[in-house]
Amino acid sequence: MNIWEKLKGEFIDIIEWTDDSQDTMVYRFERYQNEIKNGAKLTVRESQVAVFVNEGQIADIFEPGMYTLDTQNLPILATLKGWKYGFNSPFKAEVYFVNTKNFTDLKWGTKNPIILNDDRFGMLEIRSFGTYAIRITDAGKFIKEIVGTDGEFTKDEVTEQLRSIVVTRFTDAVGESRIPIEGFAGNLNELSEFSQEAMDPEFGEYGLSLTKFLIENVSMPEEIKKEIFELSRLDKIDLNKLAQMKAAKAMEAAANNPSGTAGAGMGMGMGFAMANQMGQMFNQPSNASQGQAQTAQGQGGSAPAGPPPVPGSVQLWVAQNGQQSGPFNMDTIRSMVQAGSIQKDTLVWKEGMAEWGAASGVAEVSGLFGSVPPPIPGA
């Protein structure tokens, strides 16, 4: 090899980019005055695309591989330059390396709360945050729409531009999904997939693909969260057991009352009364249901399976500590008499009485005092 061939070999360029930053999306290969020699070697690694730009116009694009640059593999640039029979070295062109790998763990979040109109809870505010991943699928479009003439474009620069798109489209997706607010926690995967499908076409306008979109958390006002928890618990509670538990707690509290036997009797009576009231509240049909049942009967329809109220059942109100309580049925009144919370001089009232009267003067109650044992002698 003579000295001329040796010097000629040294003029052949090697164009390549080794990324060691992990966050660079586009890198412009810098050459002195952007000159590239005929026969230069171009190396494009996996997860890269090389884009040649001539005087601001995108020309040839190279996928991963090794190339020797000449007229044959630079058809667009050769046309732009007017090369018909080859070209004289060197020529000028900008070379951009585009990183096509997945850029993951990009953060998004709602700086301001999102206002939603929920069918159950009305107008409310929520906040949300999560992560997403993107990949460049159209290198030419990405350079033209996003990068411009930036010599080194990082993912931090593109996330600033994309964050507003993510939040806006997420807000639309939440409204269109029609998922109730209490169902968000159990449907994060479904909501994430729905949001990703809604956003991906808009990312495509910039030469990007939204490869992953994850919602990590949806937060709501504490009062709404508390109400949701209470409603969910109520659906799981055995109401009869709840009434029994409350009655037992009332009797326990009364037993610890220093006022003695009368206080214990009062607590037991109130416990029974509470259990009875809760049972009536959750077991009674509503007025609307009763009206519907009567209408159905009048039209020949089938009546509900529940029996009507027992004829002649008595409901009494009781005056205790200057306050009225009730109404109570006779089973509850009997328990309260036996517990000592209703005495002969306790004021009671029932429908039809002109005014309050002593329990011993009401026929339905007076007979109950005979079944109460007398005080223990010497007690």
Task: Return the CATH number at 154.
Answer: 3.30.479.30
Q: Output Rg (C-alpha) for the chain, integer angstroms.
A: 42
- 92 and 132 inside one domain: no
CA distances in angstroms from 78 to 56, 88, 134, 181, 274, listed in the order given: 15, 11, 34, 60, 93
- 132 and 267 inside one domain: no
Residue 305: inside a domain, yes or no? no
Q: How many C-beta atoms lie closer than 10 Å to residue 79's C-beta?
A: 13
Residue 23: inside a domain, yes or no? yes
- 331 and 204 inside one domain: no
156: left (phi over 0), alpha (psi -120 to 50) or beta: alpha
- 253 and 365 inside one domain: yes
Determine the Cα–Cα distance for residues 131 and 34; give it in Å rounded to an integer. 39
Which residue, 180, 200, 225, sits at the end of a domain? 225
Domain count, the chain: 3
Query: Could you tell me the pTM of the whole model?
Result: 0.54
- 218 and 244 inside one domain: no
- Compute the Cα dihedral for 332, 338, 340, 346 and give only its sign: positive
Residue 307: inside a domain, yes or no? no
Residue 361: inside a domain, yes or no? yes
Q: How many C-beta atoms lie closer than 10 Å to residue 28's C-beta?
A: 20
State the pLDDT at residue 66: 93
Residue 291: inside a domain, yes or no? no
Q: What is the 3-state secondary structure (H, E, C) of 316-359?
A: EEEEECCEEEEEECHHHHHHHHHHCCCCCCCEEEECCCCCCEEH
Domain hosting residue 358, numbered range? 238-282+313-379
State the pLDDT at residue 295: 44
Residue 300: inside a domain, yes or no? no
- 204 and 258 inside one domain: no
- 32 and 57 inside one domain: yes
Residue 183's contacts (CB-CB under 8 Å, 6 or more residues apart) are none
Per DSSP, 5 falls in state H
- 63 and 117 inside one domain: no
- 70 and 113 inside one domain: no
- 203 and 326 inside one domain: no
- 48 and 116 inside one domain: no
Residues of the chain predicted below pLDDT 50: 1, 4-10, 260-264, 282, 285-304, 309
State the pLDDT at residue 65: 94
Which residue, 225, 251, 270, sits at the end of a domain? 225
Query: How many Å is the maximal CA-CA distance in the chain?
Result: 136
State the pLDDT at residue 67: 92
Determine the Cα–Cα distance for residues 136 and 133; give it in Å rounded to an integer. 11
State the pLDDT at residue 373: 59
Could you tell me where the DSSP H helices lie in the chain? 3-10, 75-81, 139-142, 155-177, 188-204, 222-236, 239-255, 261-283, 287-298, 330-339, 363-366
State the pLDDT at residue 231: 66
Q: Which two tokens stand for residue 344?
A: 């002969």
Residue 162: inside a domain, yes or no? yes
Determine the Cα–Cα distance for residues 282 and 243; give it in Å rounded to an integer. 10
- 121 and 221 inside one domain: yes
